[in-house]
Structure 1
Amino acid sequence: MTSYTRLPSVLFAATLVTTGLPLAHAVNPVFLKVTIHDLDADGDLPDDAALCLPAVNGLPVRGRDRSPAVEWSNAPAETRSFVLIMTDPDVPLDVTLLRGPRPIPVEAARDTHYHWVLYDIPATTTSLPAGADGDGFSPHGKPATRTQWGQRGVNANTWLMAGNPRLKGTYAGYDGPCPPENDLKPHGYTITIYALDIDHLAAKPLMDGPDVQKAIEGHVLAKGEAVGHYSLNPALRKAVAE
Protein backbone atom coordinates (compact mmCIF):
# COMPACT_ATOMS: atom_id res chain seq x y z
CA MET A 1 0.00 0.00 0.00
CA THR A 2 1.35 3.38 -1.01
CA SER A 3 0.52 6.62 0.76
CA TYR A 4 0.90 10.02 -0.85
CA THR A 5 0.35 13.46 0.62
CA ARG A 6 0.34 16.59 -1.51
CA LEU A 7 1.12 20.09 -0.19
CA PRO A 8 2.77 19.63 3.23
CA SER A 9 1.10 21.66 5.95
CA VAL A 10 3.99 24.10 6.23
CA LEU A 11 3.46 25.06 2.56
CA PHE A 12 -0.30 24.84 2.67
CA ALA A 13 -0.43 27.34 5.56
CA ALA A 14 0.75 30.16 3.34
CA THR A 15 -2.24 29.81 1.02
CA LEU A 16 -5.08 29.19 3.49
CA VAL A 17 -6.37 32.72 3.89
CA THR A 18 -6.20 33.66 0.21
CA THR A 19 -7.43 30.44 -1.38
CA GLY A 20 -9.74 28.86 1.18
CA LEU A 21 -12.01 29.48 4.10
CA PRO A 22 -10.59 31.44 7.04
CA LEU A 23 -9.91 29.47 10.18
CA ALA A 24 -12.26 30.03 13.11
CA HIS A 25 -9.28 30.57 15.43
CA ALA A 26 -6.34 31.77 13.34
CA VAL A 27 -3.95 33.15 15.99
CA ASN A 28 -2.01 29.88 16.05
CA PRO A 29 -3.47 27.99 13.08
CA VAL A 30 -3.33 24.20 12.99
CA PHE A 31 -3.13 22.30 9.71
CA LEU A 32 -4.34 18.77 9.16
CA LYS A 33 -2.17 16.12 7.57
CA VAL A 34 -4.27 14.35 4.93
CA THR A 35 -3.22 11.15 3.15
CA ILE A 36 -4.86 9.36 0.24
CA HIS A 37 -3.86 5.70 0.35
CA ASP A 38 -3.22 3.39 -2.62
CA LEU A 39 -1.83 6.08 -4.91
CA ASP A 40 1.02 4.89 -7.11
CA ALA A 41 4.57 6.21 -6.96
CA ASP A 42 3.61 9.13 -9.23
CA GLY A 43 0.67 10.13 -7.05
CA ASP A 44 -2.02 8.77 -9.37
CA LEU A 45 -5.35 7.40 -8.17
CA PRO A 46 -5.94 3.69 -8.85
CA ASP A 47 -8.31 2.67 -11.64
CA ASP A 48 -10.59 1.21 -8.95
CA ALA A 49 -11.40 4.77 -7.85
CA ALA A 50 -12.48 5.89 -11.33
CA LEU A 51 -15.98 6.04 -12.75
CA CYS A 52 -14.61 5.73 -16.30
CA LEU A 53 -11.76 3.65 -17.71
CA PRO A 54 -10.09 4.08 -21.11
CA ALA A 55 -12.44 3.25 -23.99
CA VAL A 56 -12.10 -0.09 -25.76
CA ASN A 57 -12.70 -0.04 -29.52
CA GLY A 58 -14.27 3.38 -29.15
CA LEU A 59 -16.78 2.19 -26.54
CA PRO A 60 -16.85 3.61 -23.00
CA VAL A 61 -15.83 1.38 -20.13
CA ARG A 62 -17.21 1.87 -16.63
CA GLY A 63 -14.80 1.70 -13.71
CA ARG A 64 -15.35 0.30 -10.25
CA ASP A 65 -16.14 3.77 -8.83
CA ARG A 66 -14.80 2.92 -5.38
CA SER A 67 -14.13 5.74 -2.92
CA PRO A 68 -10.43 5.85 -1.97
CA ALA A 69 -9.08 5.27 1.52
CA VAL A 70 -8.36 8.58 3.25
CA GLU A 71 -6.68 9.31 6.58
CA TRP A 72 -6.13 12.55 8.49
CA SER A 73 -4.41 13.63 11.70
CA ASN A 74 -3.34 16.63 13.78
CA ALA A 75 -6.88 17.85 14.48
CA PRO A 76 -7.32 20.30 17.39
CA ALA A 77 -8.61 18.83 20.64
CA GLU A 78 -11.77 20.95 20.41
CA THR A 79 -12.79 19.45 17.05
CA ARG A 80 -16.43 18.35 17.09
CA SER A 81 -16.87 17.13 13.51
CA PHE A 82 -15.16 16.91 10.12
CA VAL A 83 -16.13 17.68 6.54
CA LEU A 84 -14.65 15.98 3.44
CA ILE A 85 -14.88 17.55 0.00
CA MET A 86 -13.26 16.13 -3.16
CA THR A 87 -12.98 18.41 -6.18
CA ASP A 88 -11.59 18.30 -9.69
CA PRO A 89 -10.50 21.86 -10.56
CA ASP A 90 -9.29 20.80 -14.02
CA VAL A 91 -12.58 20.26 -15.90
CA PRO A 92 -12.48 22.08 -19.27
CA LEU A 93 -14.85 25.02 -19.18
CA ASP A 94 -15.77 24.66 -22.88
CA VAL A 95 -17.97 21.55 -22.93
CA THR A 96 -17.69 21.28 -26.72
CA LEU A 97 -14.07 20.16 -26.22
CA LEU A 98 -14.90 17.21 -23.99
CA ARG A 99 -15.57 14.53 -26.62
CA GLY A 100 -14.13 16.21 -29.67
CA PRO A 101 -11.34 14.80 -31.84
CA ARG A 102 -8.94 17.63 -31.04
CA PRO A 103 -6.70 17.42 -27.96
CA ILE A 104 -7.67 19.74 -25.11
CA PRO A 105 -4.64 21.95 -24.45
CA VAL A 106 -3.21 22.19 -20.96
CA GLU A 107 -3.84 25.95 -20.94
CA ALA A 108 -7.58 25.59 -21.70
CA ALA A 109 -9.88 27.42 -19.27
CA ARG A 110 -10.94 25.14 -16.40
CA ASP A 111 -13.87 24.73 -14.03
CA THR A 112 -14.28 22.89 -10.70
CA HIS A 113 -16.54 19.86 -10.24
CA TYR A 114 -17.39 18.26 -6.88
CA HIS A 115 -16.94 14.48 -6.79
CA TRP A 116 -17.44 13.73 -3.09
CA VAL A 117 -19.20 15.65 -0.34
CA LEU A 118 -19.46 14.21 3.17
CA TYR A 119 -20.20 16.27 6.28
CA ASP A 120 -21.09 15.79 9.95
CA ILE A 121 -18.31 13.20 10.13
CA PRO A 122 -17.91 12.32 13.84
CA ALA A 123 -14.91 13.84 15.60
CA THR A 124 -13.80 10.33 16.58
CA THR A 125 -13.38 9.39 12.91
CA THR A 126 -9.93 10.06 11.46
CA SER A 127 -9.97 7.75 8.45
CA LEU A 128 -12.28 6.25 5.85
CA PRO A 129 -11.54 2.82 4.37
CA ALA A 130 -11.67 2.25 0.63
CA GLY A 131 -15.28 1.88 -0.49
CA ALA A 132 -16.70 3.59 2.60
CA ASP A 133 -18.88 5.97 0.59
CA GLY A 134 -19.27 4.11 -2.66
CA ASP A 135 -18.17 0.83 -4.23
CA GLY A 136 -19.84 0.62 -7.61
CA PHE A 137 -21.75 3.02 -9.84
CA SER A 138 -25.43 3.47 -8.99
CA PRO A 139 -27.61 4.55 -11.94
CA HIS A 140 -29.77 7.49 -10.81
CA GLY A 141 -27.37 8.02 -7.90
CA LYS A 142 -26.86 7.00 -4.31
CA PRO A 143 -29.31 8.54 -1.81
CA ALA A 144 -28.35 11.67 0.13
CA THR A 145 -28.70 9.86 3.44
CA ARG A 146 -26.66 9.67 6.62
CA THR A 147 -24.32 6.69 6.86
CA GLN A 148 -22.03 5.53 9.66
CA TRP A 149 -19.39 7.87 8.21
CA GLY A 150 -21.44 11.05 7.99
CA GLN A 151 -24.10 12.85 5.96
CA ARG A 152 -23.79 12.56 2.19
CA GLY A 153 -23.86 15.73 0.12
CA VAL A 154 -24.69 15.98 -3.58
CA ASN A 155 -22.00 15.61 -6.25
CA ALA A 156 -21.68 16.95 -9.80
CA ASN A 157 -23.20 13.89 -11.48
CA THR A 158 -26.60 15.20 -10.41
CA TRP A 159 -26.25 17.88 -13.09
CA LEU A 160 -24.02 16.03 -15.54
CA MET A 161 -26.54 13.16 -15.85
CA ALA A 162 -29.65 15.37 -15.84
CA GLY A 163 -30.10 15.15 -19.63
CA ASN A 164 -29.93 11.35 -19.75
CA PRO A 165 -33.26 9.69 -18.84
CA ARG A 166 -31.51 6.38 -18.14
CA LEU A 167 -29.14 7.95 -15.60
CA LYS A 168 -30.62 11.18 -14.26
CA GLY A 169 -31.20 11.46 -10.53
CA THR A 170 -29.70 12.78 -7.32
CA TYR A 171 -26.11 11.60 -6.99
CA ALA A 172 -24.82 11.82 -3.43
CA GLY A 173 -21.64 10.68 -1.74
CA TYR A 174 -18.75 9.55 -3.95
CA ASP A 175 -18.53 9.26 -7.71
CA GLY A 176 -15.05 9.09 -9.14
CA PRO A 177 -12.96 10.48 -12.00
CA CYS A 178 -14.15 10.49 -15.60
CA PRO A 179 -11.86 12.99 -17.34
CA PRO A 180 -12.00 13.39 -21.12
CA GLU A 181 -9.63 11.07 -22.98
CA ASN A 182 -8.49 13.90 -25.26
CA ASP A 183 -7.30 16.10 -22.37
CA LEU A 184 -3.56 16.77 -22.35
CA LYS A 185 -3.67 17.75 -18.68
CA PRO A 186 -3.86 15.10 -15.94
CA HIS A 187 -6.66 16.06 -13.58
CA GLY A 188 -5.78 16.69 -9.94
CA TYR A 189 -8.46 15.34 -7.60
CA THR A 190 -8.17 17.28 -4.36
CA ILE A 191 -9.53 15.87 -1.10
CA THR A 192 -9.89 18.57 1.55
CA ILE A 193 -10.68 17.79 5.19
CA TYR A 194 -12.04 20.50 7.48
CA ALA A 195 -12.09 20.21 11.30
CA LEU A 196 -15.08 22.12 12.70
CA ASP A 197 -16.08 23.53 16.08
CA ILE A 198 -19.69 22.30 15.68
CA ASP A 199 -21.26 18.82 15.74
CA HIS A 200 -23.70 19.35 12.86
CA LEU A 201 -24.10 21.83 10.05
CA ALA A 202 -27.19 23.97 9.83
CA ALA A 203 -27.98 22.00 6.72
CA LYS A 204 -30.71 22.15 4.15
CA PRO A 205 -31.72 19.10 2.07
CA LEU A 206 -29.46 18.05 -0.79
CA MET A 207 -26.46 20.21 0.07
CA ASP A 208 -23.79 20.32 -2.63
CA GLY A 209 -20.13 21.30 -2.28
CA PRO A 210 -20.60 25.10 -2.44
CA ASP A 211 -23.54 24.85 0.00
CA VAL A 212 -21.37 22.97 2.49
CA GLN A 213 -18.45 25.37 2.07
CA LYS A 214 -20.77 28.27 2.84
CA ALA A 215 -22.29 26.47 5.84
CA ILE A 216 -18.89 25.89 7.49
CA GLU A 217 -17.76 29.52 7.26
CA GLY A 218 -16.63 30.69 10.70
CA HIS A 219 -16.48 27.14 12.08
CA VAL A 220 -13.20 25.85 10.59
CA LEU A 221 -10.60 25.03 13.25
CA ALA A 222 -8.14 23.36 10.87
CA LYS A 223 -7.88 22.31 7.25
CA GLY A 224 -5.66 20.11 5.10
CA GLU A 225 -5.65 18.55 1.65
CA ALA A 226 -4.11 15.84 -0.50
CA VAL A 227 -4.18 15.37 -4.27
CA GLY A 228 -4.40 12.28 -6.44
CA HIS A 229 -4.06 12.62 -10.22
CA TYR A 230 -5.91 10.69 -12.90
CA SER A 231 -6.01 10.69 -16.71
CA LEU A 232 -7.73 8.67 -19.42
CA ASN A 233 -5.47 10.03 -22.15
CA PRO A 234 -3.70 6.94 -23.59
CA ALA A 235 -0.49 8.88 -24.20
CA LEU A 236 -0.33 10.11 -20.61
CA ARG A 237 -1.16 6.70 -19.19
CA LYS A 238 1.54 5.10 -21.35
CA ALA A 239 4.07 7.66 -20.14
CA VAL A 240 3.17 6.87 -16.53
CA ALA A 241 3.41 3.13 -17.13
CA GLU A 242 6.86 3.48 -18.65
Structure 2
Amino acid sequence: MIKKIFLVSLFFITISGISFAEEFLLSSPALEPGKNLGIEQVYFGFGCTGKNISPALNWKGAPADTKSFAITVYDPDAPTGSGWWHWIIFNIPAAVNDIKENAGNPSLKLAPKHSIQSITDYGKPGYGGACPPEGDKPHRYIFTLYALDMEKLPLDANASGAMVGFYLNQHALAKATLTALYSR
Protein backbone atom coordinates (compact mmCIF):
# COMPACT_ATOMS: atom_id res chain seq x y z
CA MET A 1 0.00 0.00 0.00
CA ILE A 2 2.78 2.46 0.87
CA LYS A 3 4.47 1.58 -2.44
CA LYS A 4 1.24 2.43 -4.35
CA ILE A 5 0.86 5.75 -2.52
CA PHE A 6 4.49 6.58 -3.25
CA LEU A 7 4.09 5.78 -6.98
CA VAL A 8 0.85 7.77 -7.26
CA SER A 9 2.46 10.74 -5.46
CA LEU A 10 5.52 10.53 -7.70
CA PHE A 11 3.24 10.48 -10.77
CA PHE A 12 1.42 13.68 -9.69
CA ILE A 13 4.68 15.43 -8.78
CA THR A 14 6.07 14.55 -12.21
CA ILE A 15 2.92 15.74 -14.04
CA SER A 16 2.84 19.02 -12.11
CA GLY A 17 6.42 19.75 -13.21
CA ILE A 18 5.56 19.46 -16.90
CA SER A 19 4.77 22.70 -18.68
CA PHE A 20 2.36 22.21 -21.53
CA ALA A 21 3.23 24.30 -24.58
CA GLU A 22 0.62 26.59 -26.05
CA GLU A 23 -0.81 25.34 -29.35
CA PHE A 24 0.82 26.90 -32.43
CA LEU A 25 -2.04 28.75 -34.16
CA LEU A 26 -2.41 30.87 -37.28
CA SER A 27 -5.38 33.21 -37.67
CA SER A 28 -6.55 36.15 -39.73
CA PRO A 29 -9.18 38.85 -39.21
CA ALA A 30 -9.91 38.61 -42.97
CA LEU A 31 -10.21 34.82 -43.33
CA GLU A 32 -12.52 32.24 -41.84
CA PRO A 33 -11.27 28.65 -42.00
CA GLY A 34 -13.19 26.67 -44.61
CA LYS A 35 -14.99 29.79 -45.92
CA ASN A 36 -14.55 31.70 -49.16
CA LEU A 37 -11.79 34.23 -49.68
CA GLY A 38 -12.98 37.80 -50.05
CA ILE A 39 -12.55 39.82 -53.26
CA GLU A 40 -9.58 41.49 -51.52
CA GLN A 41 -7.57 38.24 -51.64
CA VAL A 42 -8.50 37.41 -55.27
CA TYR A 43 -5.94 38.01 -58.03
CA PHE A 44 -6.26 40.90 -60.49
CA GLY A 45 -5.43 39.43 -63.89
CA PHE A 46 -5.81 36.11 -65.76
CA GLY A 47 -9.52 36.97 -66.05
CA CYS A 48 -9.95 37.61 -62.30
CA THR A 49 -10.96 41.04 -61.02
CA GLY A 50 -9.97 40.95 -57.36
CA LYS A 51 -7.88 43.42 -55.42
CA ASN A 52 -4.88 41.07 -54.91
CA ILE A 53 -4.36 42.12 -51.28
CA SER A 54 -2.69 39.66 -48.95
CA PRO A 55 -4.62 39.24 -45.70
CA ALA A 56 -3.35 40.26 -42.29
CA LEU A 57 -2.13 37.18 -40.41
CA ASN A 58 -1.48 36.63 -36.68
CA TRP A 59 0.04 33.74 -34.79
CA LYS A 60 0.80 32.54 -31.30
CA GLY A 61 2.27 29.54 -29.51
CA ALA A 62 5.49 29.17 -31.50
CA PRO A 63 8.08 26.80 -30.04
CA ALA A 64 10.50 28.57 -27.68
CA ASP A 65 13.52 27.78 -29.87
CA THR A 66 12.03 29.35 -33.03
CA LYS A 67 14.64 31.42 -34.89
CA SER A 68 12.47 32.64 -37.78
CA PHE A 69 9.15 32.15 -39.55
CA ALA A 70 8.01 31.59 -43.11
CA ILE A 71 4.57 31.72 -44.71
CA THR A 72 3.38 30.02 -47.86
CA VAL A 73 0.04 30.09 -49.64
CA TYR A 74 -0.53 27.05 -51.84
CA ASP A 75 -3.42 25.81 -53.98
CA PRO A 76 -3.19 22.00 -54.28
CA ASP A 77 -6.26 21.98 -56.55
CA ALA A 78 -4.76 24.01 -59.40
CA PRO A 79 -4.93 22.00 -62.64
CA THR A 80 -1.17 22.00 -63.15
CA GLY A 81 -0.18 18.59 -61.83
CA SER A 82 1.87 20.32 -59.14
CA GLY A 83 -0.48 22.85 -57.53
CA TRP A 84 0.14 26.61 -57.47
CA TRP A 85 2.30 28.74 -55.16
CA HIS A 86 0.48 32.01 -54.39
CA TRP A 87 2.83 33.50 -51.79
CA ILE A 88 6.18 32.64 -50.30
CA ILE A 89 7.72 34.83 -47.61
CA PHE A 90 10.57 33.72 -45.37
CA ASN A 91 13.27 35.01 -42.99
CA ILE A 92 10.56 36.63 -40.87
CA PRO A 93 12.27 37.43 -37.53
CA ALA A 94 11.32 35.30 -34.53
CA ALA A 95 10.15 38.38 -32.59
CA VAL A 96 7.37 38.99 -35.16
CA ASN A 97 3.91 37.49 -34.56
CA ASP A 98 1.85 39.09 -37.30
CA ILE A 99 1.87 40.24 -40.91
CA LYS A 100 0.06 43.39 -41.98
CA GLU A 101 -2.65 43.43 -44.63
CA ASN A 102 -1.11 43.93 -48.10
CA ALA A 103 2.39 43.03 -46.86
CA GLY A 104 2.46 40.75 -49.93
CA ASN A 105 2.91 43.81 -52.16
CA PRO A 106 6.73 44.21 -52.10
CA SER A 107 6.58 47.81 -53.38
CA LEU A 108 4.70 48.92 -50.23
CA LYS A 109 7.45 47.61 -47.89
CA LEU A 110 4.91 46.42 -45.28
CA ALA A 111 6.50 42.99 -44.83
CA PRO A 112 8.71 42.49 -41.75
CA LYS A 113 12.21 43.93 -42.07
CA HIS A 114 14.75 41.41 -43.46
CA SER A 115 12.03 39.07 -44.76
CA ILE A 116 12.20 37.86 -48.36
CA GLN A 117 9.28 37.30 -50.72
CA SER A 118 10.27 34.90 -53.47
CA ILE A 119 8.92 33.93 -56.87
CA THR A 120 5.37 32.56 -57.00
CA ASP A 121 3.83 30.62 -59.86
CA TYR A 122 2.71 33.98 -61.28
CA GLY A 123 6.41 34.50 -62.07
CA LYS A 124 7.15 37.30 -59.63
CA PRO A 125 7.66 37.82 -55.88
CA GLY A 126 4.85 38.85 -53.58
CA TYR A 127 1.29 37.77 -52.99
CA GLY A 128 -0.71 36.54 -55.98
CA GLY A 129 -4.33 35.94 -55.04
CA ALA A 130 -6.74 33.19 -55.96
CA CYS A 131 -7.76 32.80 -59.60
CA PRO A 132 -8.98 29.29 -60.33
CA PRO A 133 -10.42 28.38 -63.74
CA GLU A 134 -14.05 29.47 -64.23
CA GLY A 135 -16.52 26.72 -63.38
CA ASP A 136 -13.93 24.62 -61.52
CA LYS A 137 -14.76 23.20 -58.09
CA PRO A 138 -13.80 25.39 -55.11
CA HIS A 139 -10.03 25.42 -54.68
CA ARG A 140 -8.30 25.22 -51.30
CA TYR A 141 -5.89 28.03 -50.44
CA ILE A 142 -3.66 26.72 -47.67
CA PHE A 143 -1.91 29.41 -45.65
CA THR A 144 0.93 27.68 -43.79
CA LEU A 145 3.09 29.28 -41.14
CA TYR A 146 6.40 27.56 -40.38
CA ALA A 147 8.39 28.04 -37.17
CA LEU A 148 12.00 27.39 -38.21
CA ASP A 149 15.17 26.35 -36.42
CA MET A 150 17.37 28.72 -38.44
CA GLU A 151 17.43 32.51 -38.56
CA LYS A 152 17.83 32.86 -42.33
CA LEU A 153 17.28 30.47 -45.20
CA PRO A 154 20.22 30.61 -47.65
CA LEU A 155 17.91 31.71 -50.48
CA ASP A 156 16.97 34.92 -52.24
CA ALA A 157 13.92 36.37 -53.99
CA ASN A 158 14.60 34.23 -57.08
CA ALA A 159 14.08 30.95 -55.20
CA SER A 160 11.28 28.73 -56.49
CA GLY A 161 8.45 27.43 -54.33
CA ALA A 162 9.92 23.93 -54.51
CA MET A 163 13.36 25.10 -53.32
CA VAL A 164 11.90 27.14 -50.46
CA GLY A 165 9.64 24.22 -49.58
CA PHE A 166 12.66 21.92 -49.38
CA TYR A 167 14.32 24.18 -46.78
CA LEU A 168 11.08 24.77 -44.88
CA ASN A 169 10.44 21.07 -44.48
CA GLN A 170 14.05 20.43 -43.43
CA HIS A 171 14.00 23.13 -40.74
CA ALA A 172 10.40 23.24 -39.47
CA LEU A 173 9.95 23.02 -35.71
CA ALA A 174 6.17 23.41 -36.08
CA LYS A 175 3.53 24.32 -38.67
CA ALA A 176 0.16 26.01 -38.37
CA THR A 177 -2.34 26.22 -41.21
CA LEU A 178 -5.44 28.11 -42.20
CA THR A 179 -7.39 26.95 -45.27
CA ALA A 180 -9.82 29.13 -47.20
CA LEU A 181 -11.78 28.35 -50.37
CA TYR A 182 -12.52 30.13 -53.64
CA SER A 183 -14.23 29.37 -56.94
CA ARG A 184 -15.62 31.46 -59.76
State the TM bucket, normalised to the shorter chain: 0.7 to 0.9
Largest Rg, 1 or 2: 2
- State the identity as a percent: 30
Q: Given that residues 93 and 151 in structure 2 are in contact (C-alpha distance below 8 angstroms), is that contact kept between their aligned partners in structure 1? A: yes
In 1, are the aligned partners of 2:99 and 2:112 still within 8 Å (CA)? no
Summarize the Cα distance change of 1:182–1:111 in structure 2 as closer, same or farther, 3 Å threshold: farther
The Cα of 1:72 is off from its aligned counterpart by 1.4
TM-score between the two structures when normalised by the length of structure 2: 0.78
Residue matched to 2:120:
155
Contact kept? 1:79, 1:197, Cα under 8 Å: yes
Aligned counterparts, 1:1-242, within 5 A: 32-39=24-31, 43-52=35-44, 60-93=47-80, 111-134=82-105, 147-149=111-113, 150-158=115-123, 171-183=124-136, 185-204=137-156, 206-232=158-184
What is the Cα deviation at residue 223 of structure 1?
0.8
Report the alpha carbon displacement of residue 73 of structure 1 after superposing the two structures with TM.
1.2
Following superposition, the deviation at residue 231 of structure 1 comes to 1.1
Cα deviation for residue 229 of structure 1 reads: 0.7
Runs of at least 5 residues in structure 1 that lack an aligned partner in the other structure:
1-27, 94-109, 135-141, 159-170, 233-242
Give the equivalent residue in structure 2 for 1:98: none
Q: Find the aligned partners of 1:71 and 1:201 in 2 and give their Cα distance.
A: 21
State the distance in 1 between where 2:156 and 2:112 align: 20
Closer, same or farther: CA 202–42 of 1 in aligned 2, 3 Å: closer
| TM-aligned CA distance change 1:132 to 1:147, over 3 Å | closer
Unmatched 5+ stretches in structure 2: 1-19
1:34, 1:153 → 2: CA distance? 21
- Measure, in 2, the Cα distance between the counterparts of 1:113 and 1:35: 22
RMSD: 2.8
The separation in 2 between residues aligned to 1:69 and 1:147, in whole angstroms, is 11
Q: 1:127-164: per-residue Cα shift (whole Å, max 9, x none)?
A: 11211112xxxxxxx68x99535111110011xxxxxx
Secondary structure of 2:170's match? coil
How many residue pairs end up in the alignment? 163
Change over 3 Å in CA distance of 1:31–1:210 after alignment to 2: farther
Distance in 1, matches of 2:162 and 2:28, equals: 22
Task: Tell me how far apart the structure 2 counterparts of residues 175 and 230 of structure 1 sit (CA, whole Å).
Answer: 14
Secondary structure at 1:212 match in 2:
helix
How much has 1:111 moved relative to structure 2? 3.6
Give the AA of the match of 1:39.
L
